[in-house]
Structure 1
């Protein structure tokens, strides 16, 4: 996975989560970024939001991934 996807994922997070995820080991950051990428690709609701606001779709996908991962 490229560093770009991890950077995009981190940029989609709110500042508090960005700091917390940025402090995690690189492999865990990559796994979260991969889950984020899958969320963006798989969810049709995000496709619609992406057409209106790509940044909002990325933020929503990042929020969903963290909600699932942190329970």
Structure 2
């Protein structure tokens, strides 16, 4: 498992989103990865999901972060 938060964030994205985010500037990737980490840490629902499926929790947090960006 990647230990770099940007790499972990990119791994949690869908292939289409991963390609789009990876094509952007590193600063933007780092900002999104930090928001993703905050989402993972700050949501109790994700804590519960993480106990069942860590990958699903990470993917849901990534979806939420990108959804907030689109708003």
Structure 1 gap segments, 5+ residues each? none
Structure 2 gap segments, 5+ residues each? none
TM-score by length of 1: 0.95
1:5 deviates by: 0.2
* Moved beyond 6 Å, runs of 4+: none
Q: How many residue pairs were aligned? A: 69
Mapped to 2, the partners of 1:46 and 1:22 lie a distance apart of: 24
2:17 alignment partner in structure 1: 17
